[in-house]
Amino acid sequence: MALGQRKIAGEIIHHSDRGSQYARKDYQAMLDGAGITCSMSRKGNCWDNAMAESFFSSLKREWVQDKRYPTKEQARADIFSYIEVW
């Protein structure tokens, strides 16, 4: 849904695991049609995205788990504080 909502400059890479929803031909065609490069982890290799998954797990558990943000801007500022300040 977000593909048609804004223009993004530069190359976009969509990294995912090898789940059936990401490997489907229609999903791959949608990415290709939008000019997005698909990057899947290798078969049997669950560690490709471990660093990012660990970071987002910590962010959710330590910072945003029970918070509710009235606006996207407040969420953005609070998460910026976690990443850049704390």
SS3 24: coil
Range of the domain at 69: 50-85
In DSSP terms, 39 is beta-bridged to 15
Rounded to two decimals, what is the model's pTM?
0.47
Based on the structure, what is the number of domains in the chain? Answer: 2
User: What does the pLDDT read at residue 85?
Assistant: 87
Residues 33 and 60 placed together within one structural domain of the fold = no
| Residue 1 placed within a domain | no
Q: Name the residue with higher pLDDT: 43 or 84.
A: 84
Q: How many residues does the chain have?
A: 86
Average pLDDT over every residue of 9-25: 79
Residues 54 and 80 placed together within one structural domain of the fold = yes
34-75 pLDDT, tens digit each: 888 888 766 666 666 677 778 888 999 999 999 999 999 999
